[in-house]
Chain A
């Protein structure tokens, strides 16, 4: 089968790889019908995630048709068209039992801090991902959800990560009616976080980014007040002034380790890789939220450490809430939001690219070319 093949930082190609096999009685083999390139895939693409081995296939946002099932999977049947949450979860460990499906303890031998994620390095379990024609789906009786008949496939694939992660970012913000919410990052997750902030009753939503085309999209899609930090001397001072000198009630970091905006963080985080990514968005979030405010983090960072103003977290009494999205827990509510028209995930898709052109799609997305917000990979001829 054809699959994306990582060859090193900034280098990928499509290769023939062996067909995945059932390795556990709760596995399924899924024929991929849609997969996305996620902003967090770019951290892998840029060589920022430890233990990203040459030959790995990325891709944790995908949906597809069930082709084979292990003998213990009883809630799916061959031919079902399913969307597959990006996190792999057993459903019965200490954490899954409590609804923490992003923190499963029976899925990742290499790390205890992180659950299992499709195609996200061996630090996330060593599973191949869905940027391929076929993929092994472990614990297929827990995560995958049959796509409703009425749902567009492009909406379905966005429900595997982007929508739940953005929604959870807003939910973790503990937004109360009338709150001012600032979202750092106008990538797909930031856009969805800003859109969902309204669902929780936000009174004002501000989006900060450095790309005008994304901010223009955010202005109408979310909708939100938008500002380009490159045109602002000091983002924190600007946001303080915009909030009567107090700061936002809630700040959301939807950027993670690839953030621009500070030479020191860029040098240590993205060039020398001595930090676990550039943490300037988180730095700004901490400093621009009000005292007693909430910082919600869904931006992805590596496992080592970052330079952030932790003293200000203490002095301001900030609550930090963060996690990988618990996709399975959120899906019923989010499917209903799509059905009711509260959110329109597929509107964020700007490019549909054949799997054959995956190297170009990665470069286009990473370099922010051609107004790219969200590229979706479709099978060759699909």
Chain B
């Protein structure tokens, strides 16, 4: 049986086990038996420390949301589309939880859906009616999938007719 190989001993803290006290610790260590990928350059592994020579720090002028698993903001960050509106509030809330927590991701997914509506409202506010068929690539559908398009239209039309019929029936009742 191959045991896990520990090359670097973590800094000892209160309660940590001093591996030098363990009989036989590391005697079977085989650096060539390395399942990591890409094969790590262990010669350049400084151990578990965040004390590397950091790049120049970027100072963004927009709001950056940050994972609570980070101990500091990375040196360089993306600045596109800062959080805003209701979706932005939801995203800020999401970052109260770690990446390991489903609440974090579900809130972000929810914010994405709210953001779509915000996008349409923003378009309308700027007197722009989004051309949704064009945005969905209608030209390639018509050029390469006429039969599929006709089928989708027929199915959509049928669902529409049934829905209208049901609504009328309910009103009459």
Contact = CB atoms under 8 A, between A and B. Distances in A.
Do A and B actually bind? yes
Interface string A290-329: 0000000000001111000000000000010111001001
Which of the listed residues A11, A56, A97 has the most CB atoms from chain B within 10 Å of its own CB? A11
Contacts of B109: 50, 273
Contacts of B16: none
A238 to B, nearest CB: 29
A56 B81 contact: yes
B42 A321 contact: no
B78 A116 contact: yes
A139 B55 contact: yes
Contacts of B54: 92-93, 106
B35 interface: yes
Contacts of B46: 94, 97
B14 interface: no
Interface of A is mostly: loop
Interface in B64-109: 64-67, 69-70, 73-81, 83, 87, 91, 95, 99, 102, 105, 108-109
A374 to B, nearest CB: 15
Contact of A92 (B39, B55, B99, B148): B55
A57 interface: yes
Contacts of B111: 51
Interface in A22-44: 23-26
A127 B53 CA distance: 23
A240 to B, nearest CB: 25
Contacts of A168: 37-38
B66 A110 contact: yes
Interface stretch (A155-163, A199-207, A260-268, A354-362): A354-362
Contacts of A90: 55, 75-76
Nearest to B53: A92
Interface centre among A109, A329, A360 (most CB of B within 10 A): A109
B41 A111 contact: no
Interface in A18-72: 23-26, 47, 50-57, 72
Contacts of B42: 98
Contacts of B116: 7-9, 11, 54
B135 interface: yes
Contacts of B70: 109, 112
B105 A50 contact: yes
B81 A55 contact: yes
B130 A363 contact: no
Contact of A24 (B39, B50, B58, B105): B58
A379 interface: no
Given A109-B66, A125-B78, A99 B105 contact: no
Pick the 4 closest A-B CB pairs, nearest first.
A363-B137, A126-B78, A8-B116, A127-B78
23 contacts: A11-B132, A11-B136, A25-B56, A51-B112, A53-B87, A55-B81, A56-B80, A92-B54, A97-B45, A110-B95, A111-B69, A112-B69, A112-B70, A116-B74, A122-B65, A127-B80, A303-B105, A319-B35, A321-B35, A321-B37, A359-B134, A360-B138, A363-B137
